[in-house]
Structure 1
Amino acid sequence: MMPFRHTTVPLVTLDHSADLAALDFGRVLFLDFDGVLHPESCAERDLFCYLPNFGAALQQVDGLQRLPIVISSLWRHHCTLQQIRAYFPQDLARQIVGVTPYMTDAQAAAVQDWAPFGGEQSRSCHRQREVAMWMGAHAPQGHWLAIDDRAAYFHKNTPHLFLVPKLVYQGDSGITVYQMPALVARLQAFLTP
């Protein structure tokens, strides 16, 4: 649940005013919010309730805070980059460098031959296509990992996705303390050359 009215804001795919030199664009993390940093359906007071877990997991593997974070959440359509950063502690906010672009069907078709897609076209994999578009524009030689709760937004069996599982007892998802060991292990593997 997003605490704002539905409007569209200009997307800042890469914030050139940020301190980009301190970050290593050889690896880029793409982050969803709903179902990851808080349950998909939650009260406004519970928004970002799992953010401390995400921050702790990231701190364990990226203590120097060199991993760029790009927001792939739908929140990017309704909040400015500055508004998004305001939800995060200052150290994590500094690592947020931009958002993925919104892609039309024509734009999605234009990136069909980008390596992770293998030429396959699927409308349901739109988030992976948006990631590909961002990577092609800003870190073409880099590697990426997405943290998301929606497998359908990515190609089947992609190695680039950490899928946040649904919580059996709640029917929702989020980075709870139970997912932290798996997230830390996946981030560690991602950051190890």
Structure 2
Amino acid sequence: MIVTTLPSENQLQEDDRVLFLDYDGVLHPDAVFRMRHGLELRAPGHLLMHADLLAEILQDFPQIKIVLSTSWVRLLSFRRARGVLPASLQQRTVGATWHSRMPRAPLYGYDLYTRYEQIRAAVTAAGLTRWIAIDDDPDYSWPANDSRLIRCDPDFGLGAMSTQNELREKLAKITDGV
């Protein structure tokens, strides 16, 4: 079972509007490697280069909460993964699809789930009905008939204008101008 890690004061409710956020391929190119000195981007730009752009887009949608659906949570911990975001995004970030109590062994439990399955498990556990996800979905795990994914080009991520426009449109749909 996949459990979200949510501070008690920020428990997700059925009527919450949620953005599931991946980092690699979204906030920077999908070319991040774990090195002895830390994480390193081996592509033009810098780590989290589009995080401020996401914060700017979300200013028009103050009711949106963020749940991290990124491998960074598993590698660094929820607090550290959230802590690399700009303050305005940190304040919105209420949980993650991976929790430190989950086994780290490869090919066990969580590791067998696709990103889509990880998100769906969190959605089901919280009873969410208004949510979207932004991810480069390199394994194309997302069902074709489910339009809640904003699929990013892994080289450009949120830097692509078409991705920004799609994100704004889908945020507007799940917020209904609330």
Q: 1:119 aligns to what?
A: none
Indicate which of 141, 145, 157 corresponds to 2:132: 145
Residue correspondence of structure 1 range 87-106 to structure 2 within 5 A: 87-101=84-98
Percent pairwise identity = 26
The answer to whether structure 1 residue 175 and structure 2 residue 158 are counterparts is yes
SS in 2 for 1:98: strand
Q: 1:192 aligns to what?
A: 176
Q: Alpha-carbon deviation of 1:47?
A: 0.4
SS in 1 for 2:132: strand
Residue correspondence of structure 1 range 42-61 to structure 2 within 5 A: 43-44=40-41, 46-60=46-60
User: Matches of 1:15 and 1:79 in 2, distance apart?
Assistant: 17
Give me the CA root mean square deviation. Answer: 3.1
Residue correspondence of structure 1 range 34-183 to structure 2 within 5 A: 34-41=24-31, 43-44=40-41, 46-60=46-60, 62=61, 65-101=62-98, 126-138=114-126, 140-150=127-137, 152-166=140-154, 172-176=155-159, 178=161, 179-183=163-167
Residue correspondence of structure 1 range 10-25 to structure 2 within 5 A: 13-17=4-8, 19-20=9-10, 25=15
Q: Alpha-carbon deviation of 1:173?
A: 2.7
TM-score (norm 2): 0.73
The structure with the greater share of residues assigned to strand is 2
User: Matches of 1:46 and 1:29 in 2, distance apart?
Assistant: 23
Change (3 A) 1:52 1:148: same
Contiguous gaps of at least 5 residues in structure 1 = 1-10, 109-122, 167-171
Q: Alpha-carbon deviation of 1:130?
A: 1.0
| Partners of 1:37 and 1:47 within 8 A in 2 | yes
Read off the aligned partner of 2:131 and give its amino acid letter.
W
Contiguous gaps of at least 5 residues in structure 2 = 33-39
Aligned length: 158
| Partners of 2:17 and 2:63 within 8 A in 1 | no
CA deviation map 1:132-180 (0-9, x unaligned) = 1111222x143220101116131123111111135xxxxx131116232
Change (3 A) 1:153 1:76: farther
TM-score (norm 1): 0.68
SS in 1 for 2:95: strand
The answer to whether structure 1 residue 28 and structure 2 residue 21 are counterparts is no
| Partners of 2:11 and 2:94 within 8 A in 1 | no
